[in-house]
Chains A and B, each alone.
Chain A
Amino acid sequence: MTGVREDFREILRLVRPGARVLDVGCGGGELLELLAREKQVDGRGVEISPQGVSACLARGLAVMQGDADRDLDQFPTGAFDYAVLSQTLQATRNPRQVLGELLRIADRAVVSFPNFGHWRVRWSLLRRGRMPETRSLPEPWWSTPNIHLCTLADFNALVADLDVRIEACAALSEGRPARPMDPNSTLENWRAEAALFLLARRSTDPVEPEGVPRDLFGG
């Protein structure tokens, strides 16, 4: 499994074998294909670009053209075990509603996003006095698709407000393995370039994800 994105590796680790998985913003279907091969998941994708959808079709994946903000209502409640939203939440028009939809469709949601509290972002704003442009947020404010950026602390506050339990949390950094972290840590809010959460509806029975060490949080 060389050349696999670190966040994909982490998702692969978190997802139960044979699960039903919806990947929202699935691109060309790389993650779904990986999950099908390594974890025998029954996968579905949602992707906004017709090119991405065509690539998925060629891989034999079931994928729907659609938009996380608009089209998740097409899926029935509880249709999936996991809904994955990778590095897309900050680009949605209504992140709170999207999170709610993910956890309506699936028992668990795997959500990752860039952490606006990362020291590089803070330093860039402090030093230049302008909207930060960093390696994980490279575009200027007027062209970035990231319209709802948040910090790790912001995300925690939203999760606390929704009826959601955090089952696992990891810090992501480009080119480095995912690292388990405490989502409530002030230090991590400086350190983590991006964060990946495994969330569950409160009503869902806690299940130890495969291979997740016991000292992780939640449940």
Chain B
Amino acid sequence: MTLEATSEIEQQGGVWRFPADQPLRLDSGGRIEGLEIAWASYGRLNADRSNAVLICHALTLDQHVAATHPVTGKPGWWTRLVGPGKPLDPARHFILCANVVGGCQGSTGPGSVNPATGRPWGLTFPVITIADMVRAQAMLVEAMGVETLLAVVGGSMGGMQVLQWAASYPERIFSAVCVAGAARHSAQNIAFHEVGRQAIMADPDWRGGDYALHGTRPEKGLAVARMAAHITYLSEMALQRKFGRELQRDGLSWGFDADFQVESYLRHQGASFVDRFDANSYLYITRAMDYFDLAAAHGGVLAEAFSGARDIRFCILSFTSDWLYPTPESRHIVRALNAAGARASFVEIESDKGHDAFLLDEPVMDAALAGFLDSVCTARGLK
């Protein structure tokens, strides 16, 4: 555990190692022994341990929510929400985020060494699910001495984890915020992920998943996967506004260089992604998302998943131009919450920024989250 005391925020982080007698039990029937979960936290747990907030990250993000990323050097990915004077304020909350199991920022994943063989797991790593990720988070939260979370907050895949928390551990959360999420992966969602996975596996440097042993990296495949996925995070309007048909240079190359700015942008997105992400992690996490169907695990009735969640305060947000997890997916969640009698709030935010809007400048989202989280603190008796 390291302690970096900055002038303003109390910030901690490290890797939590679970003893061998506390394995992570998986939906697939397997288990992971010696589980490691990398985490970061901001603020301090109060005396009655009532101010803990768990943030669940999206597919390619990680635990570095509010501090400079150690690999990219970029600011945290949700500094709009977390920071001094923000809706989640380290002066008021203990804010925790953990890298998901299967990830590549310090938590046990396919890139980790299998203690049984002494070699990287690669494709021998068990297939994990959103519920497995949440189970690991619950172990971490418990190990940190937090009985009830004030809030679980997440966007995109993080939103899926939030819903899973409400289904798996309703008695351990006071409120839940799901931004641009879904209760299941649609055929279109699965289809796009399959394109990404095929791109990775088609790269000769992938080596059947054993690239670590061969000293190669399937960078081309991973970059193409990222390029395809990145398109799904933006709206057509956002792409048009940002790039239109603008060219990189004067005139066409009459070849296959990146003539258009949009091509150059996507290539850059792909190239920079491979520096911070592991190809096998991408396979495993996208698989976990594809397998996600909260209703299926409850007799096909989503409301049943929330049968224990009546007392939880929910805030569900969607964006008008998000075609990856469009508003009907959020309405589907809200309908189930209403049927279960939960306290559900829902806002569809007008935005032309597509799915990525949850990470961007959306004042209505900020106001909604600030209002909701503040009222949650009041209801919980936090100052």
Chain A residues packing against B (C-beta within 8 Å)? 44, 50-51, 53-66, 71, 74-76, 79
B338, B346, B371: the one contacting A75 at CB < 8 Å is B338
**A56: B residues at CB distance < 8 A:** 345, 371
Is B315 part of the contact surface with A, judged by Cβ < 8 Å? Answer: yes
Closest to B341 in A: A79
Most chain B beta-carbon contacts within 10 A, residue among A57, A66, A75: A57
Is B347 part of the contact surface with A, judged by Cβ < 8 Å? Answer: yes
B331, B343, B370: the one contacting A62 at CB < 8 Å is B343
Size bracket, chain B contacts: 20 to 34
Closest to A60 in B: B375
A44, A58, A76: the one contacting B375 at CB < 8 Å is A58
| Secondary structure type dominating chain B contacts | helix
**B27: A residues at CB distance < 8 A:** none
B335, B349, B372, B379: the one contacting A57 at CB < 8 Å is B372
**B378: A residues at CB distance < 8 A:** 60
CA distance A56 to B350 in the complex (A): 18
Q: How far is the CB of A23 from chain B (nearest CB, A)?
A: 13
**Contact, CB under 8 Å: A64 / B345:** yes
**B346: A residues at CB distance < 8 A:** 53, 63-66
CA distance A78 to B335 in the complex (A): 14
Q: How far is the CB of A86 from chain B (nearest CB, A)?
A: 20
B334, B368, B370, B376: the one contacting A50 at CB < 8 Å is B368
**Contact, CB under 8 Å: A63 / B345:** yes
Is B360 part of the contact surface with A, judged by Cβ < 8 Å? Answer: no
**Contact, CB under 8 Å: B379 / A54:** no
With contacts A60-B375, A63-B345 known, is A74 near B334, CB below 8 A? yes
CA distance A54 to B369 in the complex (A): 8
CA distance A113 to B129 in the complex (A): 52
With contacts A62-B343, A64-B344 known, is A50 near B364, CB below 8 A? yes
CA distance A59 to B345 in the complex (A): 12
8 Å CB interface, B340-380 against A: 341, 343-350, 364, 367-368, 370-372, 374-376, 378-379
Q: How far is the CB of A11 from chain B (nearest CB, A)?
A: 21
**A54: B residues at CB distance < 8 A:** 347, 364, 367-368, 371
Q: How far is the CB of A194 from chain B (nearest CB, A)?
A: 30
**Contact, CB under 8 Å: B315 / A57:** yes
**Contact, CB under 8 Å: A60 / B335:** no
* 17 CB-based A-B contacts, threshold 8 Å: A50-B347, A50-B348, A50-B368, A54-B367, A55-B371, A57-B372, A57-B375, A58-B374, A58-B375, A62-B344, A63-B346, A64-B334, A65-B347, A74-B334, A75-B338, A76-B339, A79-B338
Closest to B367 in A: A54
Q: Contact string, B223-241, partner A, CB cutoff 8 A, digits 1/0? A: 0000000000000000000
**B57: A residues at CB distance < 8 A:** none
**A75: B residues at CB distance < 8 A:** 338
Q: How far is the CB of B135 from chain A (nearest CB, A)?
A: 28
Is B64 part of the contact surface with A, judged by Cβ < 8 Å? Answer: no
CA distance A50 to B366 in the complex (A): 12
CA distance A61 to B376 in the complex (A): 10
CA distance A75 to B338 in the complex (A): 6
